Homo-oligomer: A and B are copies of this chain.
């Protein structure tokens, strides 16, 4: 039985407790929350759990095998480092850390101490992403050409990170999981409408060494909520709409062929449209899969699917996007 401590008990906290406690091989035995005014409501609901106001006390509790860190991003690095050095396996909320250097250092420590270090990129464990992964690995889309994601909504301004750091980690992690190509460079643009310099509208292109391209449209100030991604291959294309209750993925047997018309020195393009297929998806709660994978990786000394390397790749893109925005859209090599 893996004994787990959770650091930071905000919006996501009850979900973490519920999903870790429903694991066969896991149990949440302690929660650390520095905002003491929240302790009473925690203790009412989780009467068998130790509650700390000091995070180090939790980290140094020798009964605890693994620590889940669900605090604001800026604190991830120091808490994770402390936990790893104390010999605990660590699951970090996304994004992994505020910088590439921090992520790399955590990876090195985890490796040297043979500990599991994982990032909660929950979307990778959804039925929709798992289905897309399978389709792409089976080459059903053909050669991939583009990934075009829109994640916009009204509300939920973050006070310390911009809209890309807040919303894009979901889509970047999905992109990196689905596509084997490595991002080569990033261009990003955006503006802040709140005078604090934190962009609430931003756009990002990830460039690759070949003709694959990825694009991200993120906003906290859209009147409509959109969470959709188009993925194009040269055989088929798909639309992933996360707001659909069950029909999240539509696969279009649609494409085009190009031929050279040498006489006119031109490329001629014909396209075809075909059937559309909407697969049934697994409805298992994604966070249950995260919790299972974390515990399973600890028990069996294996790499989780949302491993630290994947988390690092996401931070690399985010860090580059920030540099690009501050350099007026300049290409930043990753």
| Chain B residues near A280 (CB-CB < 8 A) | 253, 273-275
In the complex, what residues of B have CB within 8 A of residue A328's CB?
A: 185, 187, 207, 331
> Would B193 and A145 count as touching, CB distance under 8 A?
yes
A24 at the interface (CB under 8 A from B): no
Whole-angstrom distance between the alpha carbons of A264 and B196 in the complex?
13
A223-B230, A256-B221 known; A271-B155 Cβ under 8 A: yes
Copies of this polypeptide in the complex: 4
A273–B154 contact, CB under 8 A?
A: yes
Does the CB pair A329–B205 fall under 8 Å? yes
Across the A-B interface, give the 10 residue pairs with the lowest CB-CB distance, nearest first.
A187-B329, A223-B252, A276-B278, A223-B237, A157-B269, A189-B205, A196-B267, A155-B271, A194-B258, A328-B331
The contact of A211 among B146, B191, B198, by CB within 8 Å, is: B191
Task: Report the stretch among A11-19, A86-94, A102-110, A212-220 that lies at the interface.
Answer: A212-220
A242 to chain B minimum Cβ distance, whole angstroms, is: 14
What is the chain B residue whose CB lies nearest that of A197?
A: B267
Contact surface of A with B, Cβ cutoff 8 Å: 145-146, 148, 150, 152, 154-155, 157, 159, 185, 187, 189-196, 198, 201, 203, 205, 207, 211-213, 215, 217, 219-224, 230, 232, 234, 237-239, 246-247, 250, 252-254, 256, 258, 264, 266-269, 271, 273-280, 328-331
20 residue pairs bridging A and B, Cβ less than 8 Å apart = A148-B217, A148-B219, A152-B230, A154-B273, A187-B328, A193-B234, A193-B258, A194-B269, A201-B213, A203-B205, A205-B329, A207-B329, A221-B237, A223-B250, A223-B252, A276-B277, A277-B277, A328-B331, A329-B329, A330-B330
Q: Is the CB of B189 within 8 A of A207?
A: yes
Q: How far is the CA of A275 from the CA of B248 in the complex (A)?
A: 11
Q: Which of A145, A198, A203 has the most CB of B within 10 A?
A: A203
**B201 near A146: Cβ-Cβ < 8 Å:** yes
| Chain B nearest CB, measured from A286 CB (Å) | 19
Residues of chain B lying within 8 A (CB to CB) of residue A230 = 152, 222-224
> Is there contact, CB below 8 Å, between A154 and B223?
no
A148–B226 Cα distance when bound, in Å, is 13
